[in-house]
Amino acid sequence: MILDRIALTLVIIGALNWGSIGIFSFDIVAWIFGGQTAAVSRVIYTLVGLAGLWCISLLFRERQVDEPV
């Protein structure tokens, strides 16, 4: 499902951003888009959060038998 892949991509972006904050104290999203309070940054943070919520559903879905691993 395309929405699953988009959500997973956004979650990976968020995880990499949090990793850079934890290791280097550097917020990549804020740096690229002009600060944490910039409108674009806030939209990206919101999309990453929503993608994380969507990915929770991946944990509880039944996989189809013919679906590749």
Per-residue pLDDT at 68: 66
11-40 pLDDT, tens digit per residue, is: 999 999 999 999 999 999 999 999 999 999
Judge whether 53 lies within some domain: yes
Per-residue pLDDT at 67: 62
What is the reported pTM? Answer: 0.81
Alpha helix segments (H runs only) across 1-69 = 2-24, 28-33, 39-60
Judge whether 35 lies within some domain: yes
Task: Please give the tally of structural domains in the chain.
Answer: 1
The answer, yes or no, to whether residue 64 has pLDDT greater than 80, is no
The answer, yes or no, to whether residue 8 has pLDDT greater than 90, is yes
Judge whether 65 lies within some domain: no
Judge whether 69 lies within some domain: no
Average the pLDDT over 45-66 and give the result.
Answer: 90
The neighbour count for residue 52, using CB atoms within 10 Å, is: 14
Judge whether 64 lies within some domain: no
> Domain span at residue 54?
2-59
Judge whether 33 lies within some domain: yes
